[in-house]
Amino acid sequence: MGILEVKNVGKRFGGLQALGDVNLSIAENSVHAIIGPNGAGKSTLLNCLVGKLIPDTGSVMFDGQSVLGRKPHEINQMGISRVFQTPEIFGDLTVMENMMIPCFAKRDGAFEMNAIASVASQRDIVERAEHMLEDMNMADKRDMHAAALSRGDKRRLEIGMCLSQEPRLLLLDEPTAGMARADTNNTIDLLKQISDERDITIAIIEHDMHVVFSLAERITVLAQGTPLVEDTPDNIKGHPKVREAYLGETQTAA
């Protein structure tokens, strides 16, 4: 049994079968990549895992418990954090405040009426957020408004915010899109380090094959809403169906 078990999940948008009949098992403490062409249904699948969408059919189990029917914040509190395809951060808040909010969510849960003490007096949270910013190499941007960050920095901030929650399952939707090469490599190193050091399972959607092959232990190829194959990176590289359906396409495009 994997930590995440997706069984027979299907999702329709009007006339479009975005997900056909998806079965996916992600082993605990592994890095699992999901690849596939644009519109294959990768983001839709993640949406079904975090409570943004409710699938029409099938079941999603996380650590033996169903996530279906739970609210997004409940699913997060179960230990699933997600980085979105377009960065979802608090643009009006400073970078430091962005980092403190998930720390509060981790410490205090879904709701805590803490309306009198000042934020600055919460030493544990401040320290933790500062530490996280250093890990993300963003300490110098601490007092900037998050909206003013570059696209790559917004992503790194969002990744840091998710990591600060110490999730058991981290879902990354194209985490390196829009990043400069150096930042991409930093992100790869960071994710590698985290998956080595901590008990964390990572599911990553990525178009950049360099990222996929540097990180993934297993790869699922999704096309038109159904998994085509699932295998190790080495086998996927040589798989004729995959080359045809996906890799070939991107390689000629590149």
Ligand X SMILES: Nc1ncnc2c1ncn2[C@@H]1O[C@H](COP(=O)(O)OP(=O)(O)OP(=O)(O)O)[C@@H](O)[C@H]1O
Which residues contribute to the site for ligand X (CB under 6 A)? 13, 16, 18, 36, 38-44, 85
Residue 180 contacts which entry, ligand X, Mg ion, other proteins, none (Cβ below 5-8 A, type-dependent): none
Residue 44 contacts which entry, ligand X, other proteins, Mg ion, none (Cβ below 5-8 A, type-dependent): ligand X
Strand partners, 155: none
- Rounded (5°) CA angle 183-98-29: 60
Map the footprint of Mg ion across residues 160-199, applying CB under 5 A. none
Of the candidate residues 22, 26, 32, 43, the single one contacting Mg ion (CB under 5 A): 43
DSSP code per residue over 57-123: EEEEEETTEE-TT--HHHHHHHTEEEE-SS----TTSBHHHHHHHHHHHHHH-S-----SS-GGG-H
Residue 104 contacts which entry, Mg ion, ligand X, other proteins, none (Cβ below 5-8 A, type-dependent): other proteins
Q: Minimum distance between the CB of residue 164 and ligand X, rounded to whole angstroms?
A: 25
Q: Minimum distance between the CB of residue 45 and other proteins, rounded to whole angstroms?
A: 16
Per the structure block, which two tokens stand in for 141? 């941007």
Which helix (H) or strand (E) element contains residue 124? helix 123-135
Residue 39 contacts which entry, other proteins, Mg ion, ligand X, none (Cβ below 5-8 A, type-dependent): ligand X
Maximal C-alpha separation, the chain = 62
Q: Minimum distance between the CB of residue 51 and other proteins, rounded to whole angstroms?
A: 8
Q: Minimum distance between the CB of residue 117 and other proteins, rounded to whole angstroms?
A: 6
Binding site for other proteins (CB under 8 A): 50, 71-73, 76-77, 81-82, 84, 88-93, 97, 100-102, 104-106, 108-122, 125, 161, 165
The CA-atom distances, in angstroms, between 92 and each of 96, 98, 107, 147, 175 are: 12, 9, 23, 6, 22
